[in-house]
Chains A and B, each alone.
Chain A
């Protein structure tokens, strides 16, 4: 048994807001405190370690609801940027740790060490093509310490789109269900609905209500509402996770608000909202419209979102949004990689750098923070940077500082180019995040949104994923170096050092579907795929410590 004693506990899911109390752990779970007044008799054989957490704060382990850490797209990106690897942090192998490279596209083992080293214990790999899901799972298999979920790309899947075109909505639902289990995924991801399919013709899908290239009935709006509805029908623990059309383009805030209206009535999670909250008519007039987006979002109470905030510095943009990446390549002249995934999706990679003197980048920097401050319910907006698109995940503490220190934040705003300051509202926002709210946006909220009821809180029965920070660290930067990180009840990081390497679990769902759908798919498969149907589904054995989460 492990006891964490004397720390100030933030457990917003259970209404605990900075109370000094003990946390008890046994068998990988949080258990009731036998020493608390009114608790049952102490178990026999209680022994074990006590962590003295005086002067420290105790948080549930971080949950990253949207990141790109494994699989074909990320590995392609790794290949595209050898210069980043030369500059990256090196992990030399030790008896406890495998070798690896940090940087913007860390290698598998290093990804686990970096996330856990920061106090994050669950990550959601947000974009997996079914065709290469096996590759993703193999990389996730090699990411130690953290638990994982994956979302499988569905909004440009041509089998599904063909069914929607023909009006066969029931069959479409069964196909989606079958594909989720074939990919051994956790949920549905929709990226630029219709746009990536159109990119196979060199086109995009910029208008929500216009048919997608090659279709008469199927519009991006149709895909969005269908997938949202399917996710709800299948009772997936996490709703449709949507990367809206027109990402990155000036004036796209109207698309975002229209999309919210299209979804109306269903659950949905809007990914990296920052990239979808711009006004203006072109790059030279681009400005923030976070206020309008936040207002609409606040009113659509069935939606959750993540910030997708940007920080100044180097990044690597990796996204299934092929046409946007081609545009970024043309705008910047940076090298560009593009992959096609037959019948399903694609991806584009462009290394990029966000500069504080660049007007557009300055607006982007402000918008992410504005959304975090203007969306009033912290249970509905979560801390992400769409790693590695907006900034690298280990820079989350910088965003936390900007949210919790208004004076510091305003000083940073004053450093932006004068023109940029006029295009954003950040200077006028005084809200300061409390520790409890930070615990919500980094852990409790995303866990709830992902439907992982055993994560994101420190009540009895929760997975014992706990992060302990010094309340007043020497360098003033809270959250950068946890004093302890506990994963499934084991101390894995102590004083910034990885002490034990455990393997995380992978959560998957097995939604119900009509078994006849497999026969349907087996018929059409050989006509459209270059892979044989029997090789297509991922064997459950490929996943390390797979755990099926119920659909209810």
Chain B
């Protein structure tokens, strides 16, 4: 039986809800969950000032309502499952270590920033800096999986170090900016400067995208390692083309201005 939270009404200013994690609800009684401290702006309040709460002592949480202004849900969680039947706010799953988060609606910026494990699946759109490093940090997500069925904003996977991000819709500028490792799959295209300052890692685009002049073409082929990812991605609802008869991936290495040893793999269907 999950702990169910119904948002009474969207808060007027952002609600800082980093206490809202499965690690907390797994151990707490109903009364203690209701009393979890959250910050509305700079004032400390109780969780039940904003949510109707049902259930206790479960590492499954279900959130109902438009939580666009509720920030830091699932921060640092290590287990269990959070389902948001609606939208969620910034920093969802930031620094999470394990467990799963599913969102029916949209999410804001910094989804899964600096996460080290676990999985996030957003059915709607995401904002910018998904799986990214916070300002100044040397790397972003270290492990784990983020799947976004809609589109995403700027700097997806910025400075990433490992892990997997899949975006089915279009992304905006600077996907994979400065990335040091990891894999990003872009199924819906991208705007400008994809892979800028890339050091290592892989960006796969299933559509033709505009490339920086500092990426050099190598060859067109079907890399074997993609078969490993294809299996995992199929279970997440994303199809990676692999058939020689259907086409091949154009491989570009870069970003030469670093100099980086990253790769861009752009799918080119056979004419």
Contacts and interface: CB of A to CB of B under 8 A. Distances in A.
Nearest to A82: B136
B270 interface: no
A84 interface: yes
Interface of B: 134-138
**Majority secondary structure, A binding face:** helix
Given A82-B134, A82-B135, A86-B136, 4 more contacts: A83-B135, A83-B137, A83-B138, A84-B136
A88 interface: no
The 3 A-B pairs at the shortest CB distance, nearest first, are namely A83-B136, A82-B136, A83-B137
A491 interface: no
Contacts of A86: 134, 136
10 contacts: A80-B136, A81-B136, A82-B134, A82-B135, A82-B136, A83-B134, A83-B137, A83-B138, A86-B134, A86-B136
A81 B135 CA distance: 9
A547 B235 CA distance: 73
Q: Is the interface of B mostly helix, strand, loop or mixed?
A: loop
Nearest to B135: A82
Contacts of A81: 136
Contacts of B135: 82-83
Nearest to A84: B136
B132 to A, nearest CB: 13
Nearest to A83: B136
Interface in A61-100: 80-84, 86
A420 to B, nearest CB: 26
Contacts of B136: 80-84, 86
Nearest to A87: B137
Interface string A323-358: 000000000000000000000000000000000000
Nearest to A85: B136
Contacts of A80: 136
A288 B154 CA distance: 50
Contacts of A82: 134-136
Contacts of B137: 83
A84 B137 CA distance: 9
B249 to A, nearest CB: 31
A85 B134 CA distance: 11
Contacts of B134: 82-83, 86
A372 to B, nearest CB: 34
A83 B140 CA distance: 12
Greatest chain A CB density within 10 A among B134, B136, B138 is at B136
A243 B135 CA distance: 33
A169 B134 CA distance: 53
A86 B138 CA distance: 13
A423 B192 CA distance: 53
Max chain B CB contacts within 10 Å: which of A81, A82, A83? A83
Contacts of A83: 134-138
Nearest to A86: B134
A84 B135 CA distance: 10
A86 B76 CA distance: 14
A161 B138 CA distance: 41
A83 B113 CA distance: 13
Nearest to B138: A83
A83 B135 CA distance: 7
Nearest to A80: B136
A135 to B, nearest CB: 23
B206 to A, nearest CB: 34
